[in-house]
Amino acid sequence: MHDDRSLVEARLKRVLDERVRPAVYPESVPLEVAVWHAPGEPVPVAEGLAAEPEPIEVGARWGAPWGTSWFRVTGTVPEAWAGRTVEAILDLGFDENMPGFQCEGLVYRPDGTPVKGLNPRNQWVRVAAPAEGGEQVRLHIEAASNPVILDYHPFLPTQLGDKETAGSEPQYTLTRMDLAVFDETVWQLVIDLEVLGELMAELPVESARRWEILRAVDKALDAVDLQNVNATAAAARSRLTGVLATPAAPSAHRISAVGHAHIDSAWLWPLRETVRKVARTTSNMTALLDDEPEFVFAMSQAQQWAWVRDHRPEVWARVKKAVADGRFVPAGGMWVESDTNMPGSEAMARQFVHGKRFFLDEFGIENDEAWLPDTFGFAAGLPQIIKAAGSKYLLTQKISWSQTNKFPHHTFQWEGIDGTRIFTHFPPVDTYNCSMKGSEIAHAARNFKDKGVARHSLAPTGWGDGGGGTTREMVAKAARLRDLEGSATVTWETPRAFFDKAAAEYPEPPVWVGELYLELHRATLTSQARTKQGNRRSEHLLREAELWAATAAVRTGFPYPYEDLDRIWKTVLLHQFHDILPGSSIAWVHREARRTYERVAEELTGIVEAAQRALAGEGGTPLVFNAAPHARTGVPAGGARTPVTPARTILTGRPGGGHVLDNGLLRVEIDARGLVVSAYDIEADRETVAPGRAANLLQLHPDFPNMWDAWDVDEFYRNTVTDLTDADEVVPEGDGVRIVRRFGASRVTQLLSLAPGERRLLVDTEVDWHETEKFLKLAFPLDVHAERYASETQFGHFHRPTHTNTSWEAAKFEACNHRFVHLEEPGWGVAIVNDSTYGHDVTRTVRTDGDGGTTTTVRVSLLRAPRFPDPETDQGVHRFRHALVPGAGIGDAVREGWRINLPERRLTGAGVVEPLVTCDRDAVVITAVKLADDGSGDVVVRFHEAFGGRVRATLTAGFEVADVAVTDLLERPLADARAPRAEDGRIALRLRPFQLVTLRLRRA
């Protein structure tokens, strides 16, 4: 037989594009259209419906950036269409390649009932089936003219990312507003031909199945009258029945399709627009569930569910019904799909507390899985948090974006720092926007790395990022792929059903230990410094507010602010979303975040001050309140008293220029350039700074990644560096030295100080930053030989190598830490702690001159200046605080990390305030002291082993304890946990390395 494959495939493409698809709507009539443009921010639905619109014609421009326009469309179904299916085609000016990234709409009936959302891949609204001739049609569209930020030429700087700078130029052209006859037979033929054509293209050319499909398609096209497709579509479909009915091979890969619409809670749109995006998508999905009995849809992020409940009660009613039917599924059990690298221990725990509690309270549903398809890497402390929240599975696909190394598994056990293992799945379809294309299904089957031992994978199916969800076309394709020869099988299932099957078939999967590092988007650890500082400050203020309010409630009857703390926690958790905290959103988002963090700080400071005043009482005794988990200056953790006054620091001149700071523990030499050339540990008789090098060195790099400006820093940035060594001023100031430098259009002011009695050099840095596409680092070259270093993560720390033996290590050229990094040789180490930065790098070199020793350099990432999506990223004044801690063991690193983030608070009072709860071992770090969320008055204490070893300790309550329970993060007693006894308020503990424990103490 002659090879006519290319001829038939080309024929299929043209006939589909030019004849069959256009015939889905064979007849149409225009609708009358009028529009009212809301003058400012979005208005309530009732106001939009009641507004008096003005006529507008198809072809007219509409929609200022970030505006809202209310369209009213009216028309009459022609008498000739009686008995047929009629739909409204409402094209606001869509580009079908940009679902979620441009204008969108939500359609209402005149009574305010939402119908469905409109987006580039979902432009239809069912009017009647069957229709009645003369039937009147009236619909209202709440249309959002969201500008296109990420265009075909991506990453170009734009002022459209903030309503304050976006201007008023109309963004869209009204394209089509019609009533049309919907020919379902032709539509079904389109799906048949698409599924078979896409499958055919994925099969080997030499396979019999590919040629069988080719012949059937050829015969079907022969049956199509190109001048009368509608009359011949049924005949064409009949010629495809056989090839569509052939079942899949028994060994075929099995895909669980989960309806999905990954909606970024903020990204290239502000939070207020996400509220509407969620309403549009959930309206679409509840409508699709009504039409498609086998379809299942899952939505994560309790915050987004809460938005629907609070802002769109009509949509919420439909959602609740679909949830009750088991087909609209709460997923993930987190407040938002947060970043997991940067949120602190308690914040990461509270993501699950608030997320899971929302779904339990609203629906009585508890999630087994963490659902984070788009998060930029996963911290090593996360597995035990997932388990402590009562969950056991994790899903993500983002690691497939790694640029250097291909992850070796799709289904595996992920082991965290304490040994907890979580059953984890990476969908081999490699997208959270699966659209049921044949290429996607074939890729999933080919790509699946666990062949021979497992057969199941998951495909999140639907348009996401900006929402939209699953379409009727995707559902129709999935129906044909349920059992089709040559393809993986596709079945709609809930996430829980998939995970239960996958875990059952693969009882002993491989194990991956440590962080799941994304070899991409490393700059998200630094971009938008103010957002990151707001998060860090909020986390620690929340700790203080809970601690002091709980202590005051137990001791004085102070009214514990349950509702305020709940609300503030949810605000902070929302801003940990994986495009807000990482700094990858538009200017509008970060402008609002700064204001939100300021309000949070003001409110929490008020709670702290009120509780401390209640505890201090009236009097003139000077008191220091210590919210850190370790004692300092004679003040116990969680208590208040008059501090011990240590000896003073001596400041002298340095021969050759500069200054010397000496407090009897450290002697620090600062040269005339304002650089630290010596940090001498007097007790250990040991120098910290590498020979011939200088610490406190600011370094400036060019920063222009190949793409994803706010997200990425590419390794070649290191090829060019400018050491900022010129100083305008190096002068004494108090017990320290002030340094002023200028570079480019920017200015840096630093204060280096050595507190009396402390083995730490404080580095306070203020940067008035006006650079573009630059990366600012702060370097500490250390005389330490270390093949690895410790980096703090949630509820502990883990180690990364300092070498680059393999591509896996080399790829980690920018990494995340929380409050500290720590390096050591046996018996002596160094810590660098911070109050608000996350990104850093650690490198090592062997000195070829002098002693031949090893220099290990820690560099802290301070600021970047990308121009997309916010062209003014981080312009202005920033303040950072770091400390160099020579002679530090891991315990010192833990203690100093907490200390720099929790400053002492001073006031006068009646006398000593005893801690509510204490522990006698520094290795046990108490991360939360609070009253139970249920209002019972029970005291909840959360703690973990922080040094990485086993420990016996005693927890002592400063109140009479009637009962002790070991609980999960949601403060529910664990059935399989042996509850410790409290004797005279003392509770004996035994903890393994990094073990996380929550105790609930019932007061007598």
Among candidate residues 525, 877, 859, the one with its CA nearest the CA of residue 697 = 859
For residue 470, give both structure tokens. 């699953």
Work out the average pLDDT over 96-116.
Answer: 96
Work out the average pLDDT over 956-981.
Answer: 93
pLDDT of 3: 84
Catalytic residue set: 374
**Separation CA 35–CA 690 (nearest Å):** 70
**Which pLDDT tens digit goes with each residue over 744-754?**
999 999 999 99
- Comparing 848 with 696, the larger pLDDT belongs to 696
pLDDT of 886: 98
The pLDDT-based confidence of 122 (bands split at 50, 70, 90) is very high
For residue 771, give both structure tokens. 């650079």
**Separation CA 299–CA 711 (nearest Å):** 25
pLDDT of 976: 84
Whether the predicted pLDDT of 979 surpasses 90:
no
Cβ-contact 225, 231 below 8 angstroms: yes
The pLDDT-based confidence of 645 (bands split at 50, 70, 90) is confident
**Please, which residues have CB within 8 angstroms of residue 398's CB and are 6 or more apart in sequence?**
372, 373, 374, 375, 376, 377, 518
**Which pLDDT tens digit goes with each residue over 74-85?**
999 999 999 999
Instruction: Please count the other Cβ atoms lying within 10 Å of the Cβ belonging to residue 627.
Output: 25
pLDDT of 646: 80
Which class for 164: exposed (0-12), middle (13-18), buried (19 or more C-beta within 10 A)?
Answer: exposed
* Residue 647 DSSP label: P
The chain-wide mean pLDDT, for the chain, equals 97
Task: Write the CA distances from 803 to 341, 554, 786, integer angstroms.
Answer: 22, 51, 9
Place of tokens 């239809």: 124
Place of tokens 């640029």: 403
pLDDT of 708: 97
Which class for 161: exposed (0-12), middle (13-18), buried (19 or more C-beta within 10 A)?
Answer: buried
H or E stretch covering 289? helix 271-291
How far apart are the two ends of the chain, measured CA to CA in Å? 90
Whether the predicted pLDDT of 849 surpasses 90:
no
**Please, which residues have CB within 8 angstroms of residue 779's CB and are 6 or more apart in sequence?**
695, 696, 697, 698, 699, 857, 858, 859, 860
% pLDDT > 70, the chain: 100
Work out the average pLDDT over 603-614.
Answer: 98
Cβ-contact 920, 628 below 8 angstroms: no
pLDDT of 880: 98
**Please, which residues have CB within 8 angstroms of residue 808's CB and are 6 or more apart in sequence?**
404, 405
**Which pLDDT tens digit goes with each residue over 140-153?**
999 999 999 999 99
**Which pLDDT tens digit goes with each residue over 333-364?**
999 999 999 999 999 999 999 999 999 999 99
**Which pLDDT tens digit goes with each residue over 669-714?**
999 999 999 999 999 999 999 999 999 999 999 999 999 999 999 9
**Which pLDDT tens digit goes with each residue over 866-899?**
999 999 999 999 999 999 999 999 999 999 999 9
Whether the predicted pLDDT of 1 surpasses 70:
no
For residue 540, give both structure tokens. 């620690």
**Separation CA 502–CA 150 (nearest Å):** 37
Report the DSSP beta bridge partners of residue 330: 299
Whether the predicted pLDDT of 19 surpasses 80:
yes
Q: What angle do CA 606, 629, 515 make, to 5 degrees?
A: 105
pLDDT of 256: 98
pLDDT of 647: 82
For residue 108, give both structure tokens. 């209402």
% pLDDT > 90, the chain: 97
Place of tokens 């720092």: 417
H or E stretch covering 573? helix 562-574
